[in-house]
Every structure is written in structure tokens, then in C-alpha cells.
A and B are shown apart, each in its own frame.
Chain A
Amino acid sequence: MAEPPLDLRAATDQEVVAVARRRDEAACRELVRRYERPVFSLLFRMVRNRELAEDLAQETFIKVLNALDSYRPEYKFSSWVFKIANNAAIDHLRRRELDTLSLEGSPHADTPQMVEATALQIGEKAETALEAVEHKELGGEIELAIAKLRPEYRTCILLRHVEGRAYEEIAEILNLPLGTVKTYIHRARNELRVALAHLKR
């Protein structure tokens, strides 16, 4: 008797991965649907450029879906996806060095025109969530402060306090010792506290 089809929406990651390994398009689509927002958000906040973040997210998912056979189910699927996404972002930042844009424009911009031309697309695109952030003082200030963090601190703080990942999982994603992850997160929080102190006064 044939097995009843798996309800992909209700299935666990591991179950969906098992189906996706058989090159099932619906299962691949389901994996993308589950992680497109967290992966894209992480990448967007890492590289601060929408087009680039989308390219990197696409690259991440193509790598993930092409390498499903090498995924080991004893690890969390989400950790594996975030690891590939983070590697893509870090590789890009290393390649491009300071070309990364910020909320205030490129650090290389030395005229008001250049600052305006290179200012982050945040707010330029008609995106409801983004506009909402712009309009909320704390949200906008935090986005700005996160953009100023070192990339390794930024990944750690985003994974811990935006994505809600456990310290151990972050250590696994970033291939770092647990103590280093904790240190990075606390240093990042220190820097964010300093950056946002004026809002409390």
C-alpha cells in the first residue's frame, strides 16, 4: 500500500528534508518558505543592501538544496542553514571590505551628494516593515547601532536576540567556542547600551 502524502506544512524540518532529498519540488519550496524570512533578515542586517542580501539568500538556499545529501540529521537544520548564510555574508564582507553601506551612507562618501547616493535603501523601498522600523525611534536607533557593530558581534547578537537561538546553537553555527559567543554577545550588548543610552535620558 502506498504511503499517504506527507503534510509538509505540519511536518518537522527533518521530515521535509527527507522528502526534499528525493528532489521533491514542494518539499524544497517548503524549506525555502520556512527560512526565507529569517535568513534574508540576517543577511540584510549583515550586508545592509537589499539586492545583495537577496542574491546572498538565493545563493544560500541553492547551496542548501543542492547539498541536502550531505546534511547530517543529528544537527538542527536551522543551524545548518544559518551557518551557510553567515558564511555567505562573511565571505562577501571580506571580499568587499568597506564597500558595505550603512544607514548613513558609505563610509567613503565625502560629499553630501555621495552620502545621499550611497545611503542605505532602508526607507527607500516601499516595504511596510521597513517603514515601520523607520517610524519607531527605538527600532531605527537599534538598526543603526547594529550596523555599527563588528560583523562577528552583529551575527551573534542577531542570532541570539532577534532569531532567539541558544548560545550553544550559535556556537555551532559560527564554529566558535561557547565562551567566545557569550563574550561577543555581551560586548555587543555593551556597545548597544552605550549607543542607545541617550534614549533613556
Chain B
Amino acid sequence: MKRWPINHLTAEDLDAFHSASLSAELREHLAECEECRTMAELDHMVLEGLAALPPFAPREGFADRVLAGLRQARPARLRRYLPSAIGTWGRLAAAAVLVVSLGASVVWTLFNRDLVLSWIQLSTAEPGRLLWLGVRVAATNLTAQPWYASFRELVASPGRLAVLVGGSLVVYGAALVALRRLLTPPSRPVPYALG
């Protein structure tokens, strides 16, 4: 069945035309349809022109500049972790000092277990006590506020409490959405070279 004049060449047909794998039916259509023939010839010219575009080269010494940039970037990162002045012996000495110190601290801990335990108890008990004190002070301050009694009356009924919690959640959600919109930069289309 003849495709012409209903179906002109599609993008895939054009690819097939360039790779010389166009079906006989479409070749026949191409012979008869001037519009498609012109399009195929123009497309061929475009592809030939693109394939013939010369590669551009950066200025002489590009690789040297890249490697110099790399050297600048690398030591800066490495220096943070390991000073370059320290050689293999220096690293070995540092490792030995670390191992000896760790061993000594383990031995000392084993011989002074009671002292270590008392330090641990002191360090955990004191912050807990301070935290509890803070909670009590905050609660006392809250209940001493002049509006506390009316607020308590307001939330005494489960229905009113539910309405209040629901309303707060809605306001909180709306505020989050508003904040997100405020903080999102306006999206811009990718610019064109010639506007």
C-alpha cells in the first residue's frame, strides 16, 4: 500500500534514509514527493556539514595547566589529614606513640576501676539532676502565668482540645508551605545563546 501522499518521511525514516535502509515503499514515496526529497537532501547536507566540523583545540600546554591545577588542589586536601613533612619513620613513630598511650590508658583503667566508676556516675548524675531542675522551673513558670488558668479551662474539653490541635497543625502546615515558597528561588528557563 502506498503511504504517499498521506505519510511523509518521519524522523526515523530520515535516519533510515541516511543509513541506506529505507524501505522500498518509502523510496518510492521519496521519488515522487518533492517536499520529502528536499527535506531528506537538506538533512543530508546538515549531517555532512556537522560531521565535517573541525575539532577545536585549547591553547598549547593545556595538560600542563590541568596538572598544575590538580597539584594545587590535591596537597591542600591532603594537608588537612597528613602533613607532607612527616615521612615513613615519622608515621611509624606516631603510630607507636598512639599504641603505647592506648595500652597505658587501658592498664591504668584496670587498676583504678573504682575511681573511673565514680567519675562516670558523677558525669551522668549531675546533668540528669540539672535537666530535671530545668523542667521543674519551666513548669512552675508556666503555671504562674496569668493566662494559664483560662488556657487550661479552654483545653479541658476533649472536643475543644481537638479543634485547637487541628487548628494549630493547619497554621503550622500553612506556615511551612509559605516559608518554602519564600525560600525557593524563582525558576528560570535555560538561556539561549541568542535569546
Enumerate chain A interface residues (CB-CB to B < 8 A): 23, 25, 28-29, 32-33, 36-38, 40-41, 44-45, 48, 53-54, 57-58, 61-62, 65-66, 90, 93-94, 96-98, 100, 102, 104, 107, 127, 129-130, 132-133, 136, 138-139, 141-143, 147-152, 154, 157, 161-162, 164, 182, 186, 189, 192-193, 196-197, 199-200
Contacts and interface: CB of A to CB of B under 8 A. Distances in A.
B193 A148 contact: yes
A61 B63 CA distance: 9
B155 to A, nearest CB: 51
A68 to B, nearest CB: 11
Contact of B193 (A36, A102, A132): A102
Interface string B52-81: 111111110011011101100110000000
A119 to B, nearest CB: 13
Nearest to B65: A58
B51 A58 contact: no
A193 B42 contact: yes
Contacts of B67: 25, 28-29, 32
A184 B73 CA distance: 37
Given A58-B62, A197-B42, 19 more contacts: A40-B56, A48-B193, A54-B62, A57-B62, A58-B65, A65-B70, A96-B191, A129-B54, A129-B57, A130-B54, A141-B49, A142-B46, A148-B193, A148-B194, A151-B191, A151-B192, A189-B47, A192-B50, A199-B45
B131 interface: no
A182 B58 contact: no
A107 B51 contact: no
Contacts of B53: 133, 139, 142-143, 162
Contacts of B58: 36, 40, 53-54, 57
22 contacts: A32-B62, A37-B56, A40-B62, A58-B62, A58-B65, A65-B70, A93-B191, A97-B188, A98-B192, A98-B195, A100-B193, A107-B194, A138-B49, A143-B53, A149-B192, A149-B193, A150-B190, A151-B191, A151-B193, A157-B50, A161-B47, A189-B11
Contacts of A147: 193-194
Nearest to A185: B11
Contacts of A197: 42
Nearest to B62: A36
Contacts of A37: 55-57
Contacts of B14: 186, 189
Contacts of A133: 53-54
Contact of A58 (B38, B57, B69): B69
B45 A61 contact: no
A41 B56 contact: yes
B168 to A, nearest CB: 40
B176 interface: no
